[in-house]
Structure 1
Amino acid sequence: MTVAFVGAGNMGGALVERLCEAHMPVTVCDTDPLRQQQALAAGASLADTPLSAVAQLGPEDALVIVVVDADQCREVLWGEQGAASGLQAGQAVVLCPTIAPEDTVAIAERLAEQGIACIDAPMSGGPQRARDGRMSLMVAAPPAVLERHADLLAALSLNVMRISERVGDGARTKLVNNLLAGINLVGAAEVLALAERMGLDLTTTLDVIERSSGQSWIGSDRMRRAIDGDLAPRAHVTLLEKDTRLAVAAARSVGFEGPLGARAARVFEQAHEGGMAGLDDAALLSFLRQNSPRP
């Protein structure tokens, strides 16, 4: 099995390392020189363009796309030197970014015109879980497609969850998950900002929350770093800003308006506007400290 990767950032790079460790031939295309060097160090080969990245794929091999948004996915596939012109019938594109379901469906339909399968496969869990094989991989595609590429999916993650055979359902599931993640993270940052205002020790407070009914994985993960002042970006503020915005739009498209989703999305938008776009989303604690007025 040979795998082409476009996008070797925090998540993609962790997956590249994992596949190389499993002795799979991996070719990586990424525009960042640092990511290129990391991929080489892991044992991958480099390609200058998405088109050249897929040149060595066999008849049932796959291209894995781990970029940020739908526009980048389309550029990878159909831009100048895009991969689609080099893909063959029987091969597959594993689509990992968090994007709108309608974009996933449109990309899949366009690929299908060439006889190329699309596996709707958004992921969740962060770089360390991706590296360890513990991330969640939410896959949606016809059963025959999933069976044909089962070895690759199993190599990517030990937690492959088959959502349905309808491409787009992986994207829908990921948006539901990430909307809750965003709500949980805003809530965790809010209550710790409140605890600090009350004069409580934040580490002790978070210890209690983690052993009580307020616990959430993303709250613990991000707030531990925030308490330590560690805002080096593992997941930029802009990612959950994008994901919560897409989730709220998806909710509205089916006539659903909940009480919390849009408000959480607005907090990420405000943090971005407040100059925190390039920081880890743990920076929400700092944002709420600065933007919670005193009486």
Structure 2
Amino acid sequence: MDRPRIGFIGLGRMGTPMAQRLLAAGYSLTVHDLRQEAVAATGRAGAEAGGSPAEVAGRTDVVITMLPDANAVERVVYGDRGLLRAMRSGQFLLEMTSSRPRVTRRIAADLTAQGVRVLDAPVSGGVRGAAAGGLCIMAGGPADVLDALRPILDHLGRHTVHVGDAPGDGDTAKTLNNLLSATTIWSSIEAVVLGIKAGLAPDRLLAAINLSTGRSYTTETKFSQYILPRNFSAGFTVGQYLKDLNICLDLAEEMDAPMLLGSAVRQAWMNAAEEGMADLDHTALIDLLERRMDAEGKPRR
């Protein structure tokens, strides 16, 4: 596919830096977002504005969606001026939202019926990864569709993993990754806070953990960069983790697969959101857990 015209729908915290990377790579971009200030900002970088998803589809060869959730994707696809009304045979939909697998499968079936090629490709790596082109992209769909879109994906991510042959498989992989991530983050902070209350210096405790089997990305990177310095800017909120945990537990329920630990992890994050942390960076969980465990200001031996 020679230098396709790209449509980009969804200019949020992730979508904006991703769109800017495609502009910097020389692609012709038509963008759409409900927030006109986001469209205007991307326009100053060289993008054209599309008044609706349908208008974006009418001007482009590949449409990328990067939206807050599955409900937003459904509105963009099935709305009065949505993609389903405008996309035509031979076009591509690159659906990069962290969405619900069953929603992605239904959208793919409806668009495939009119000749559109669909790949779902949610990402891991946060805002910093999006800005640096360092995302991990989890692709679900036919291999030939991935091959056609790979030049675009290479500008957005450092790694693209073909996790499955059907749209929706990418969403499944993403939600399972975030279950593991949410579990590790919570348990790591909880363990270190208990260590602090027991009198251990967190840097010494983490030095031991990071040479042992309990190490993780949280203990190796997030504690030193964000948690201990109280620099809560990792780029993913408590509410966003809770959204992904809900997707995961809903998937488990659909498949009649009980998840004892997964359910407990979701409840923990739900409680944090209910205590006013939904819009805070997830690394701020240390404040909540220190209060709960009465470890604030505890001396360190």
Q: Calculate the TM-score normalised by the size of structure 1.
A: 0.89
User: Are residue 194 (structure 1) and residue 194 (structure 2) matched?
Assistant: yes
Partners of 1:16 and 1:42 within 8 A in 2: no
* Alpha carbons of structure 1 residues 227 and 40: separation in structure 2 relative to 1, 3 Å: farther
* Alpha carbons of structure 1 residues 81 and 233: separation in structure 2 relative to 1, 3 Å: farther
* d(CA) in 1 for partners of 2:27, 2:215: 38
3-state SS of paired residue (1:54): helix
**Aligned equivalent of 2:298:** none
Gaps of 5+ in 1: none
3-state SS of paired residue (2:7): strand
**Aligned equivalent of 1:83:** 83
Instruction: Pick one of 22, 39, 42 that aligns with 1:39.
Output: 42
* Alpha carbons of structure 1 residues 230 and 37: separation in structure 2 relative to 1, 3 Å: farther
Partners of 1:179 and 1:244 within 8 A in 2: yes
Q: Calculate the TM-score normalised by the size of structure 2.
A: 0.88
* d(CA) in 1 for partners of 2:32, 2:204: 44
What is the RMSD computed on CA atoms of the aligned residues?
A: 2.2
User: Are residue 53 (structure 1) and residue 56 (structure 2) matched?
Assistant: yes
Report 1:193-212 matches (<5 A): 193-212=193-212
What do the CA deviations read for 1:217-257 (whole angstroms, capped 9, x no partner)?
24555433232223357212111101112112222333333
* Alpha carbons of structure 1 residues 218 and 12: separation in structure 2 relative to 1, 3 Å: farther
* Alpha carbons of structure 1 residues 227 and 20: separation in structure 2 relative to 1, 3 Å: same
3-state SS of paired residue (1:28): strand
Report 1:131-280 matches (<5 A): 131-223=131-223, 224-232=225-233, 234-280=235-281
Instruction: Pick one of 23, 26, 32 that aligns with 1:23.
Output: 26
* d(CA) in 2 for partners of 1:220, 1:37: 39
Partners of 1:50 and 1:81 within 8 A in 2: yes
* d(CA) in 1 for partners of 2:216, 2:181: 9
Identity percentage of aligned residues: 26
3-state SS of paired residue (1:94): strand
* d(CA) in 1 for partners of 2:279, 2:40: 22
**Aligned equivalent of 2:119:** 119
CA drift of 1:3 comes to 1.1
Partners of 1:68 and 1:97 within 8 A in 2: yes
Read off the aligned partner of 1:8 and give its amino acid letter: L
* Alpha carbons of structure 1 residues 82 and 220: separation in structure 2 relative to 1, 3 Å: farther
Report 1:60-99 matches (<5 A): 61-99=61-99
CA drift of 1:203 comes to 4.1
Partners of 1:192 and 1:285 within 8 A in 2: no
Partners of 1:189 and 1:284 within 8 A in 2: yes
Read off the aligned partner of 1:43 and give its amino acid letter: G
* d(CA) in 1 for partners of 2:267, 2:281: 17
* d(CA) in 2 for partners of 1:287, 1:227: 14
* d(CA) in 1 for partners of 2:56, 2:185: 37
What do the CA deviations read for 1:257-294 (whole angstroms, capped 9, x no partner)?
34421111111111110011111111221221222368
CA drift of 1:190 comes to 0.7
Partners of 1:27 and 1:45 within 8 A in 2: yes
Read off the aligned partner of 1:98 and give its amino acid letter: S
Read off the aligned partner of 1:273 and give its amino acid letter: E
Q: How many residues align?
A: 291
**Aligned equivalent of 2:290:** 289
Partners of 2:57 and 2:83 within 8 A in 1: yes
* d(CA) in 2 for partners of 1:253, 1:105: 14
**Aligned equivalent of 2:109:** 109
Partners of 1:66 and 1:96 within 8 A in 2: yes
Partners of 2:108 and 2:118 within 8 A in 1: yes
Gaps of 5+ in 2: 296-301
Partners of 1:122 and 1:174 within 8 A in 2: yes
3-state SS of paired residue (1:109): helix
* d(CA) in 1 for partners of 2:40, 2:208: 42
